[in-house]
Chain A
Amino acid sequence: MADQLLEIDAVSKSYGATVALRDMTFNVRAGELFGFVGSNGAGKTTTMRIALGVLSSDSGQVRWNGEPITVETRRHIGYMPEERGLYPRMKVAEQLTYLARLHGMSKADAKRAVGVWTERLGVAARRDDEVQKLSLGNQQRVQLAAALVHNPRILVLDEPFSGLDPVAVDVMSQVLREKADDGVPVVFSSHQLDLVERLCDRVGIVRNGQMVTSGTVDELRAGGAVRLIVHAPQAPDGWADQLPGVTQRGRHGEKTELELAPGADDQAVLRAALDTGPVHEFAHRLPSLTELFRHVVTEETAA
């Protein structure tokens, strides 16, 4: 299944003078959870809509297993649009059956799958209720069921975690992980960066319609600047300012957070710290995804 690959290749889209996507490129491999992060309006939703064929791109290609994606292959995608949508006056089970059948499932298969997924997502008791009578959280669960019910080979989920309670977040995370383990490429966008960091195999950060950086969370973190946490209670403010390539990033009580430029010598920092008195803690700290993200966004405002 190593060839199950979803590729977004140099996709561009403009609305008049507004550029929504500029050569957006990334790929998601089978069995991989890909987190798609970026600030509002960065182009995440547009990318997903183009992958689903709901929007047309100006240029570029979306491929699956090396072939340009078609109406037929799109039926294998499980999609959760950012703008949640179901028929408000249709019953849960009927609605899910209908959607499964639109994806090409037989009536019997569809009914079976609806049973399985409503059970799994905890909305089995509401099968015969109209969607509009469900709470927002349960509507979300039904929406996820709609994305999963036809046993998709690719999952594209736009903000699947927004509006979920912690229990539902756990169920959702579990389901996504399972799907990925089954060999399904899973792409989802989210603003909950801690969740993305915990859950995803790889992450892509978008800005202004372009993929700025992508890779495993560890790769991204390693690629960021090295930070040091130094606990030296007697060190005066600005004790490390004179060291080459070292910037003070913060001071939390007796701890100082320093950022080292590439090539800066951490041993020189340790010696300087010991010169101020005792050192209780001297630790490397990789930046969190949130910090990386902020960094990217800061660059954006600077640019």
Chain B
Amino acid sequence: MSTPAQNPNVRLGPLAAIGLVASREIGTRLRSKAYLVSTVVMLVLIIGSTVVLKLLSGSGADATVGVTGPAAALSAPLQASGKAIGESIDTTTVADEAAGRAKVSDGSIDALLIGDGKSLQVVVKKDLDAQLKNAFNVLAGQLELSQQITALGGDPAKVSADVAAAKVEVRPMEQPYDYNGQQLVLGIIAGVLIYISLMLNGQMVAQGVVEEKTSRVVELLLSTIRPWQLMAGKVLGIGTMGLIQMILIGGVGIVAGLATGVLTISLSAALGTVVWLIVWYLLGFFMYSIVFAALGALVSRQEDVGGAVTPALMFVIAGYIVGVSVLPTDPGNSFVEVLSLIPMFSPTLMPMRLAMGGVPVWEAALSVLLVVALIPGLIWFAGRVYNNAVMRTGAKVKLRDALKAA
């Protein structure tokens, strides 16, 4: 009989061991209804929300107004006044009032502007949309003003040009970033996705660790592979499945958005968002899941997992809540800017800020570097806690004891 070390039958390198553990996790996840259901639900949500956005926004302009006769001259001023109040208005010239009325009643135009071009009369089906009414009122005011100026012997065109030119001159010390409304929405969606994914998959790691501890199978496993291999395989396996979920949801969301025309940002900006989302999911997942694995090893019952991982979870939740409550209204908030550079908060805040745009390159790079630098320390911490705690069943192992015991 050959000596065991020479027996090729039992060679199992660390990578092979990690691979085996990871593929078991992947197999388990693939067969888990929870994983499949959560993926489908998130896909439905993301496609559903693009469809809803699409229906809400309608196509092209906010309103279409038909003009006829002398009122046709008011087309340009109407569009201008609409723009001034943030409503995009299309105008279309109709042959006569009767034709226009027909179009109003079949709904192909929102309103029909008639009259002599000096006063405004609008035909609508039932009532006038509030925004559109504002636009008409602004226009009516301008018409009246022009007539008064003419009556006083002035030149209405010159007056309105001068009035338009007179405005406060802003001298910014720093070039402000012009945030795009769609990117703000994208940022929020990115934040929600990262948050849900960290919560689901991170906790999955902790639950997996406790399952092995509760069922005591861990003793059998640790008699063949090292604790770090078991931990690495678990994190890798669950992380891969989370990544697939994230790519699927992010990709489908962007494609749905671009295809329906809800998203009008450039393809490269959209892809950039997805790529950053994936980078930050990976960084955040590895950072948190190894901590979750260690904290999970401290307890022996599934009921205690929640309590054990709460301290680490607080950072995820805090980052997320600060992000979704501050960033939509104030994307350049300097408190969030600082917070997003702190590794514990980066995974939730950075992807939101990156999707919203306007993040200096050095900040994006620094936050990645800090998290990457922190991970080896966390691995050391988690490995130590895991090694010391995973075989101690019964009462919850105190974190201090787990760190102390050699």
Contact = CB atoms under 8 A, between A and B. Distances in A.
Partners in one complex: yes
Interface of A: 1, 4, 49, 52-55, 64-65, 71-77, 79, 81, 83-90, 98-99, 101-106, 109, 146, 150, 153, 183
B223 A74 contact: yes
Given A55-B391, A71-B226, A81-B216, A98 B5 contact: no
Contacts of B10: 72, 75-76, 103-105, 150
Nearest to A56: B406
Given A55-B391, A75-B12, A85 B216 contact: yes
**Chief secondary structure at chain B's binding surface:** helix
B12 A88 contact: no
A1 B1 contact: yes
Contacts of A101: 20
A72 B24 contact: no
B330 interface: no
Contacts of A90: 28
Interface residues of B, number: 28
B4 interface: yes
A131 to B, nearest CB: 9
B20 A98 contact: yes
B4 A85 contact: no
A103 B211 CA distance: 21
B225 A85 contact: no
Contacts of A105: 9-10
B334 interface: no
A49 B4 CA distance: 21
Given A85-B219, A102-B12, A72 B5 contact: yes
B220 A79 contact: yes
B158 interface: no
Contact of A102 (B5, B17, B28): B17
A191 to B, nearest CB: 20
Give the interface centre of B9, B10, B12, B223 by most chain A CB atoms within 10 Å: B223
A64 B1 CA distance: 14
A102 B221 CA distance: 8
B222 A54 contact: yes
Nearest to A72: B5
A101 B12 CA distance: 9
A85 B391 contact: no
B218 interface: yes
A52 B12 contact: no
27 contacts: A1-B1, A4-B1, A49-B219, A54-B222, A64-B4, A72-B4, A72-B5, A72-B10, A72-B11, A74-B224, A75-B224, A76-B10, A81-B223, A83-B216, A84-B216, A85-B220, A98-B24, A99-B224, A101-B20, A102-B17, A102-B224, A102-B225, A103-B10, A103-B224, A104-B10, A105-B9, A146-B220
